[in-house]
Amino acid sequence: MSNLPQIGFCLLMGGCFAAQSRRLATTSCNKPIPQGDVFLIPTRYNHQMKLRVRQPFVGVLIAFLLGLQIAEPSRVSTILLVAIGGIFLVSFYWSRSLGRDLQLRRETRLRLLQVGGHIEERLSLSNTSLFPAPYIELIDQSTMPDFNASKTTSISAGAIDQWTVHAMCTQRGMFSLGDAIIKTGDPFGIFEATLPASQRTSILVLPQVSALPDLSIVPSGLLGEGQPRRNAPQQTMHASTVREFAEGDSTRLIHWPTTARMNKTFVRLLESAPEGNWWVLLDLDQKNMFGSGWDSIEEQSVGLAASLADLGLRSRKSVGMISNGEELAWLRPQKGEGQKWEILQTLAVAKPGRLTLSAFFDKMQASLGKHHSLLIITASTQADWVKSLPTLIKRGVIPTVLIMDTSSFGGTSTDALSSVLANRNIRHHIIPRGLIEAPKMDATPSDQWAWRATSTGQFIPVKAS
């Protein structure tokens, strides 16, 4: 009977062990994150904590001591069971508390969403638990190239750790900042808590717009579409009206019949050249994509398309975009800054596809309308697609072909295609490797911005004085 208290204690410890030492324990935790400053991109905070035993032998040892105590009770086994069982329970609640009370906040400030721009993110990891975190491993899962917010640290109870990560946008595309895995545990290393912290922000990096050399683009349009302008840079020989002679007018423009009839000198008012729309056709046939990274036909072609679209829009033309990439792109010609960003966003996510340029022409040439300038950017050295151009020319769709010099990227020569285009009197240019300059990284020092703590404990970016 004297052993009944010890047996009862052993049964209690066994019940606690059976309940608490499962392989996985899951707890859901949803905690709101305060809204940040207008500079910040809002993020979603939601994680599910998982708890696992890192040292299974501790459970085996407790089970062994429990069986030994039941079979042959002794003072030594009781002390060992109480000590090791107590450490086991303390480790469990320590790790569980850290898993529930660690909070991650990510604050992102974007200066420019184009290649060469700068991204800065502020991370705050706080421990609101009563227990200190002897180790914390944060594994960042952002997909942005050259961006890594991973860190290993330790945080005292009720403390906070902040750090800032800087990165340059070196590649166009759709990326994500956020999603991280946080690992922590008790100082004895018995349990490990894993927190998948869901805080993802989508980032769209637009292609860089570069300055282009003088590329002659064949104009299109009908006479009568241009506006009469006295000093238009390009004028037709079509006179829309006449007016009295003014100082500075050329004598070549004198309209003699009207001058004789009115007994005053009149000059012809010439119409400016017709302003046809621009269609920018980007050929992304994957068979012709040579090179890698920025020094590749794909990136050079996308950069050329972005720069041509920007050039046309700044010239007050309506510009449209079509592409045979992985996802077919079709943006009708429009003017304005909004169209520029639509085109850049389309180019940001453009990827090579399987549709050849010849097959693409067969599908879309009937939809191009009439009287446009068609700017074809291609790395194809095959001339089979050229047969579609005469039909377009008859409808007033005048092509200008920009051929990427595939031979400089390790491909075949473009001489045969160039000869075919020359024989058909089709304007074309050979685009050498490196014509589109590599992205210029923003060298603005990061210390022009600083993070300031508000009265509510938030951190916001402010311009440094």
Domain ranges of the chain: 4-208+448-463, 235-272, 277-431
Candidate from 215-219, 328-332, 417-421 with smallest mean pLDDT: 215-219
Nearest to 187 by CA among 91, 96, 89, 61: 91
**For residues 260 and 6, which has the higher predicted lDDT (pLDDT)?**
260
AA identity, residue 84 = I
Q: Which residues contact 175 (CB under 8 A, 6 or more apart)?
A: 142, 143, 144, 145, 202, 203, 204, 205
Split at pLDDT 50, 70, 90, the class of 438 is: confident
Q: What's the mean per-residue pLDDT of the chain?
A: 79
Q: Of 29-33, 157-161, 258-262, which one has max mean pLDDT?
A: 157-161
Task: Label the pairing between strands 118-127 and 102-110.
Answer: antiparallel
pLDDT of 282 higher than 70: yes
Q: Which pLDDT band holds residue 32 (cuts at 50, 70, 90)?
A: very low
Residue 128 pLDDT: 92
Considering the entire predicted model, what is its pTM?
Answer: 0.70
Between the alpha carbon of residue 269 and those of residues 220, 229, 247, 251, 259, the distances in Å are 21, 8, 14, 12, 14
Higher pLDDT, 37 or 363: 363
Percentage of residues in the chain with pLDDT exceeding 70? Answer: 78
| pLDDT top residue among 29 and 379 | 379
Whether the pLDDT of residue 37 is over 60: the answer is no
pLDDT of 111 reads 56
- What six digits make up the tokens of 155? 């945080």
Question: Is the Cβ–Cβ distance between 119 and 169 less than 8 Å?
Answer: yes
CATH 3.40.50.410 fits 277-431, yes or no: yes
Q: Which CATH architecture has domain 4-208+448-463?
A: Sandwich (2.60)
pLDDT value at residue 441:
62
The residue among 193, 88, 85, 181 whose CA lies nearest residue 133 is 193
**Which pLDDT belongs to residue 435?**
84
| Range in 113-127, 151-165, 305-319 the model is least confident about | 113-127
pLDDT per position as a tens digit, 58-70: 878 888 888 887 8
Q: Are 386 and 267 in contact (CB under 8 A)?
A: no
Which residue spans within 257-297 are E strands per DSSP? 266-272, 277-282, 291-292, 295-296
Geometric angle at alpha carbon 103, from 97 and 105, rounded to 5°: 175
277-431 shares the fold of 4-208+448-463: no
The identity of residue 306, as a single letter, is: A
**Residue (of 170, 227, 212) closest to 309 by Cα position:** 212
The rounded percent of the chain whose pLDDT value lies above 90 is 35
The pLDDT tens digits for 214-269 are 888 888 754 334 444 444 444 444 445 778 887 777 788 888 888 888 888 888 76
